[in-house]
Each structure stands twice: as structure tokens, then as C-alpha cells.
Amino acid sequence: MKIGFIGLGIMGKPMAKNLIKAGHELKLYNRSKAPAEEAAAFSNGKAVAVNSAAEAAEGVELLLTMLPNSPHVKSVMLEDGKAAEHMTPGATFIDMSSINPIASREIAGELAKLGIDMLDAPVSGGEPKAIDGTLSFMVGGKPEVFEKFKPVLQAMGSSVVLCGDVGAGNVTKLCNQAVVAVNIAALSEALMLGKKAGVDPEAIYQAIKGGLAGSAVMDAKAPMILDRNFKPGFRIDLHIKDLSNVFDAAKSVDAPMPLTAQVFEMMKLLHGDGHGQKDHSALALVYEKLANTEITMG
């Protein structure tokens, strides 16, 4: 399939490479050219780096975006780049960014006027799962469009679930981000309790990970906390962006989010302390600062 791909950052570049591995022909655009050129060089001629979002949109059956937030997607599709106007009527747009579901529905409405279908399909799993092609996709849109392009998403992910109409994918992603944030905070809190009580946090992790407390979040983030490895798979600043969207959505439907609100404040403290570009496992640093103690044994 001929696919345009816009946005080759930490997540987008490995996702594009997995599409190339699956045999798709890609037109790649990124504001800084190096990531697109790297992916194109990896492709053995199956992909080409192009000079604009509009060029990526021309003559493709499917256009994908993986961008930071709602304004970026709106700008590329409807404003500065106006990529939508360069798409062929009958083509499909899938936005894999994590954005406000209200924005997803607004973009879908404008694309419908041009005869273009849209799915919103944000992902969970961070850089490691983007690299190995085991991301989780949460999708909103028409069932028939979903079924047509599900194999494309399966080239990048091990879980691809239709959650409802356009916007439902991003609502589900916001729910995911709330769960992840609270999980990491609870994990950090528990490991600090163990450390302060004189029990090795590594032993605590090994003992509880197979029980009811165990989770994919724990398995991904506990080793990072214990190794004090906060190299970003998913940055604090990006999680702050997602939680801002959580609260916008929650306010619009009058949903209470007290636990998420507490973790949001912790993340803002980390940003203020200069840790915004660290992985969200760096929530542990809040507890270390409060306790004046490192979680790792030593």
C-alpha cells in the first residue's frame, strides 16, 4: 500500500520502519529531515523522504500522522500545510497522535467535506514497543474503515481495538494515560515505603510482580526506577500534555479525576525541577525528594 507518514520522532520513526518491513511503500515527512532520511535509507527503495506534508499526502491511499498534540495535527492537515487538500478523495487519514478527542472530531468533520475518511488511533507502549512492533492501538471510526486498515496498524502493534466512533480512540488513550500515571506514582510510593522500612526494593518488585499488584506498567517501569535509568521512552512533558487533555475531556463530561490530579501536580513539579525530558518513571524522584532517600538499595 502507498502510505504517507508525517512525524518521525521517538515513536514515529520506528513505527515507519515496521511499515517498511511489512512491505508498504512510504512517503516520509518530518520537520527536521534527518529522521525521514534515516528511515528512507533503511527501506531499500521502499520509502522516500519528501519536503512537505502536502507532498506526503499526494497520491497515497492512506496518510498517517504521529505528532505531539492537537494544534500540530490541525496545522498540518487543515492550516499551514493543508495536507488534506492534497489527498485524493476516497483516501483515508489515520491520526496516531494522542490529542484531544474534540479536536479529532473537528478534523474528521472537515475531512468528510473533502470525501476523506478518518480514524483516530493513538497508541500505548512507548519507544520499546514502537521498535518491536507491539504497540497497543485504541481506534475510533467507522467499522468498515477500521477493518480495511487494521492490517496496517497490526504491522506496528500487537493489539488493535475499535473503541467506537471517531474520538473514541483518544478518549480511550486518555483513560490509559490516567491509569499509567497513577500506577507509576503508586509503584514509586510503595518502593519508597519498602526502602524506608529496610526491605530491598528489588526484592519487593520480584515478590509482588506475579500477584494482583503486578502489571505491564510495573514490569516496564520498576527496573528503570531501580536502575535510576530515566532515559525517555515517554517523557514527563508529554505525559503532562496528555493529562492536560484528560482534564479538558473530564471537565466537558463532569468526570471526577482526583487521583490523576495529584499525579499531574507531581509531574508539574518535576518539570519545574528540570526533569521534563526524563521518562515518566522519574515520578520516583518526587518521592526521593520528599524522603531525602534514593529508592535503590546501597
Cell numbers for 169 = 480512540
- Placement of cell 534527518 in the chain: 34
What does the buried/exposed string (b/e) look like for 65-83 if buried means 16 or more CB atoms within 10 Å of the residue's CB? bbbebbebbbebbbeebeb
The residue count for the chain: 298
Question: Which of the 8 DSSP states describes residue 22?
Answer: T
CB half-sphere exposure, 47, CA atoms < 13 A: 28
Burial-class residue 58 by CB neighbours within 10 Å (0-12, 13-18, 19+): middle
Does 173 participate in catalysis according to the annotation? yes
Let me know the angle formed at the C-alpha of 3 by 18 and 80, rounded to the nearest 5 degrees. Answer: 115
What does the buried/exposed string (b/e) look like for 10-22 if buried means 16 or more CB atoms within 10 Å of the residue's CB? bbbbbbbbbbbee
- State the catalytic residue, choosing from 13, 17, 173, 195: 173
Q: How many CB atoms lie within 10 A of CB 100?
A: 23
The answer to whether the CB of 44 falls within 8 A of the CB of 24 is no
List the catalytic residues.
Answer: 173
